[in-house]
Structure 1
């Protein structure tokens, strides 16, 4: 049985975070059950973009601090790294407050610049290159932020490990999957299984709802979660938020593949009951496709009506061009200082929305998708 621990934490008070982390890890044996003296420990927070901590886009620096301190007290050498969607690791770490924590604690920043091929890439990948710091670590501690995700539904322990793929190699994997969300979810599941983090500790003190992972709204949840299995942690996170397995593509595909931890029947929940911590209201990501059976040939013809695709909010857009630069299928171009989206080439990955610094990319649902949601048929 995969054990996942939940513990209440109302805010990011420094002493409170350290005490809560210690209590959280006790049913798992404490940090010393995982970290041995002299080991290099790679701590992988979510550092998607250079946003202030209160925006809830990145893992909060006080949670990172608490984990660094626990690793150091266990005798480990703490490294903190990620490959952000926009900007360098150092730039993003400085803006979100993590760089200051790294410097104050004597930890080391791992910029995730260099990478090398996985020795035995999972079957769903044509090829796979991973950050050298991840491959060279003695163990990995996964430190996600709990957020909605426009493409996958939810980003938590499984999705956070995608940051081990460096820079522009991420768009290449989006292109490999194309508009097939199930294939992209399988790739993420295979990546998580390949990396096998020792622990996943989730910052759900303030989570993100709505248009995540970069443009949603902060929502107080007041919880930390921890477990060894990323899938089991994500199952507990869905239960915490009152969402279904179908609301998260990685969890949905994992259930179809009957992977351990895909559903709560495979999970031993310890600590606070999820229902006692559940926020009164939580706004999930918008549905992006219809889940009832539509023949493939018909789905392709009716794609715009059956799916959700990005749309520009011209009132918010500043014409910075980041969405154009990072679009995996190169379906965007600047015209008159505003991005134009070629919907025939768009694969619906929503990288443009994820990385837009102004929240100027909206999710526009097709007519049949909106109707399916009204009648309870859509994802």
Structure 2
């Protein structure tokens, strides 16, 4: 059985988070079960972009602080790293409040750079991941529970996409992002290359709606932990009330027969699961209902069955960040407005994810409102 532990944490009050983390890890043997003295332990946080903690975009600094202190108490050397979607690592760490925690605790902020090629063993034959991630003695995955416009939910498995360095992420979106099932398969193959020893989910304040950066904070008041990221994601989705048919990563994991994908093999400890469940998260716009359709129908109906990004003119300041972030280069700034090439657009919504001003909206395909009634 895969064990996923659940613990209440009503707020980010420092002593409360510290006690909650200790209780959370107790059924798993405590931090000492994962960290040995002298080991370099990488905390892979979610540092998507430079937003303050109350926006619920990044892993909360008090969760990072609590895990750092537990690692240090076990004798480990705590490192914190990620590859932000926009902005330099130091700037994002400062804006999110994590840099102050790193300085206060004596931990190290590590840049995800120097990509190292690793051979794949599935659909994709090679990956290049951050050297710091591959070289760490132990990895603790620290995702934020959020909705996601492309994958419906981002949590344990999706957080590991941050081990792909910088602009290489856009290349993977271009290679696999037009097919959400293929993209989910790619995420799982990255996870399998170097599984983290432990995952701790920040779901004290989660995000619902148009996540992972444009949604609304959602108070959940929980921390989750486990050794299998797929199993952690299955329980996180159950708590958030997200339907299985919309969980691309979990569906792909079941199709591959991965450990942790079968709900019958997962047991929870700590807070009983019925008490942990919350009213279902408000989900992102349904952006793709083409899965299962033959290719010739997908091509004909794509415009009607998918949502697409569009500008909010009064918010857009034409900074060009969305155009630079767009993997297929389907966005340009012309004559003081954004122009979208929807034939080239792969509907990955990287533009919305990285827009610093929330100046991009979603326009639904003509048939989506009708189809939503039957989903």
Query: Do they superpose with TM above 0.5?
Result: yes
Quote the Cα distance in structure 1 between the aligned partners of 2:318 and 2:88: 21
TM-score, normalised by the number of residues in structure 1: 0.96
Using the TM superposition, give the Cα deviation of residue 275 of structure 1 relative to its aligned residue in structure 2, in angstroms. 3.0
**1:1-379 equivalences in 2 (<5 Å):** 1-118=1-118, 120-290=119-289, 293-376=292-375
Using the TM superposition, give the Cα deviation of residue 293 of structure 1 relative to its aligned residue in structure 2, in angstroms. 4.3
Q: CA-to-partner distance for each residue in 1:291-327, whole Å, 9 max, x for gaps?
A: 5743220111110101121111112211111000111
Q: After alignment, is 316-325 or 21-30 more displaced?
A: 316-325
Asked if structure 2 preserves the Cα contact closer than 8 Å seen for 1:220 and 1:279, the reply is no
Quote the Cα distance in structure 2 between the aligned partners of 1:19 and 1:369: 46
Taking a change above 3 Å as real, the CA distance of residues 313 and 274 of structure 1, as seen in their structure-2 partners, is farther
Q: After alignment, is 207-216 or 281-290 more displaced?
A: 281-290
SS, match of residue 126 in structure 2: coil
Asked if structure 1 preserves the Cα contact closer than 8 Å seen for 2:290 and 2:298, the reply is no
> 5+ unaligned residues in a row in structure 1: which ranges?
none
CA RMSD of aligned residues (A): 1.2
Asked if structure 1 preserves the Cα contact closer than 8 Å seen for 2:45 and 2:82, the reply is yes
Taking a change above 3 Å as real, the CA distance of residues 3 and 291 of structure 1, as seen in their structure-2 partners, is farther
Using the TM superposition, give the Cα deviation of residue 288 of structure 1 relative to its aligned residue in structure 2, in angstroms. 1.3
Quote the Cα distance in structure 2 between the aligned partners of 1:312 and 1:358: 11
Q: CA-to-partner distance for each residue in 1:217-243, whole Å, 9 max, x for gaps?
A: 001000000000000000000111111
Quote the Cα distance in structure 2 between the aligned partners of 1:251 and 1:331: 29
Equivalent pairs, count:
375
Q: Which runs of 4+ in 1 moved over 3 A?
A: none
Q: CA-to-partner distance for each residue in 1:116-148, whole Å, 9 max, x for gaps?
A: 111x22433253111111111001100000000
> 5+ unaligned residues in a row in structure 2: which ranges?
none
